[in-house]
Structure 1
């Protein structure tokens, strides 16, 4: 397994630690942020999430720079993104920081695209992530980070950046899903 694929795998291996930080009631205290508070466990989870998310850029950059792009990497990279983002969104719903209906739509798109990739794999094709799909992932990461940080530092200015980012993530997620199916509809049409 090459270095970019190991970096991608490390992103997957960080997910359980991220889940523990948010799902286990850790009472590490809170930080005052304007009129609200930010649990230290949420801050730690946000930092871990951002570090794990950054590996998405690192593995792709390294793979392209050193010509190490593989079919395994094309499969693992979007899977790692989906696992991390889905875990984060589900936990945000549990914590009451994101509406369930938005998360259901976002995760449904991820399942649909994964299903299309599986059909393609059955036909011997690997569908790499599109540029719009990559943009979608980064907007989702920004929204999740803002929600995990309880909208800090924007809460100090009274600007609901976390909500704006979440709706932007929803919109680009839906649009990129439609775009992905339109561009790859031949996979469904031509499948045996």
Structure 2
């Protein structure tokens, strides 16, 4: 197995410490504040360091994503495994964090639902196109979606301790890159739909 594929596997494995850190944050915060209102935990306590650690792990995962893609192209090590699992690793990491952030009310649940539903639908489009030997080109908007997500997640993790998440416009401004990512996600999904539309019409 080549190095890019090993880095992809590493990125998948990093989901485990992410889940552990989120659980530790929730556990610790529940002892700082009332168990039923831990979302309002005093963020000046040590619980914030769990969020910082999550942010660091996420950044490391994005760095490995950049490195393995660059190495695979540079050394001509693009494999079927890499094509399948590289985007899957990104989705696993990002979806895991987004689910926890929405659970903590640090991002909006509707955004997370849109991201996950869009990815599932696009994967369906890709499988349909592959079964019909149709090459579906990835759009720049899909890459922009990932870039804005990669900006939004560390912003939330590192800045939520210094803002008042109970003030709606504070939370809205903090999630602005995430909202832009959703718009990019929807537009790229539409681009995929347009490419596979002839296949959908043919199957009628």
- Label 1:171 to 1:190 Cα distance change in 2 as closer, same or farther (>3 A): same
Q: CA deviation at 1:181?
A: 2.1
1:78 and 2:87 equivalent?
yes
Task: Give TM-score, length-normalised by structure 1.
Answer: 0.82
Residues 51 and 74 of structure 1, relative CA distance in 2, 3 Å threshold: same
Q: Shift of residue 92 of structure 1?
A: 0.4
**TM-score in terms of structure 2 length:** 0.77
Question: Which runs of no fewer than 5 residues in structure 2 stay unpaired?
Answer: 33-41, 165-169
Q: CA deviation at 1:175?
A: 1.0
Where is the helix percentage greater, Structure 1 or Structure 2? 2
In the other structure, the counterpart of 1:117 is: 126
Of residues 179-188 and 132-141 in structure 1, the stretch that sits farther from structure 2 once superposed is 179-188
Give 1:143 deviation, angstroms.
1.0
Distance in 1, Cα, partners of 2:83 & 2:149:
20
Where in structure 1 are there 5+ consecutive unaligned residues?
none
Is the counterpart of residue 13 in structure 1 residue 13 in structure 2?
Answer: yes
* CA shift in 2, pair 1:134/1:153, >3 Å: farther
CA distance in 1, matches of 2:134, 2:20: 36
Q: Residue 129 and residue 2 in structure 1: after superposition, are their counterparts in 2 closer, same or farther (change >3 A)?
A: farther
Counterpart Cα distance in 2 of 1:18 and 1:44: 9
Q: Secondary structure at the match of 1:149?
A: helix
Superposed CA deviations along residues 22-52 of structure 1, whole A, max 9, x for unmatched, are 1233539x9xxxx964711010001001111
1-structure distance, mates of 2:188, 2:13:
27
Do the aligned partners of 2:136 and 2:195 also contact (CA within 8 Å) in 1? no
Secondary structure at the aligned position of 1:98 is classed as coil
Q: Whose strand proportion is higher, 1 or 2? A: 1
Check whether the contact 1:75–1:128 (CA below 8 A) recurs between aligned residues.
no
Deviation at residue 154 of structure 1 after TM alignment: 8.7
Distance in 1 between residues matched to 2:105 and 2:182, nearest whole Å: 17
Matched with 2:144 is: 135
- Provide the alpha-carbon RMSD of the alignment: 3.0
Which of residues 150, 155, 158 is equivalent to 1:149?
A: 158
Aligned pair partner of 2:51 in 38, 42, 46:
42
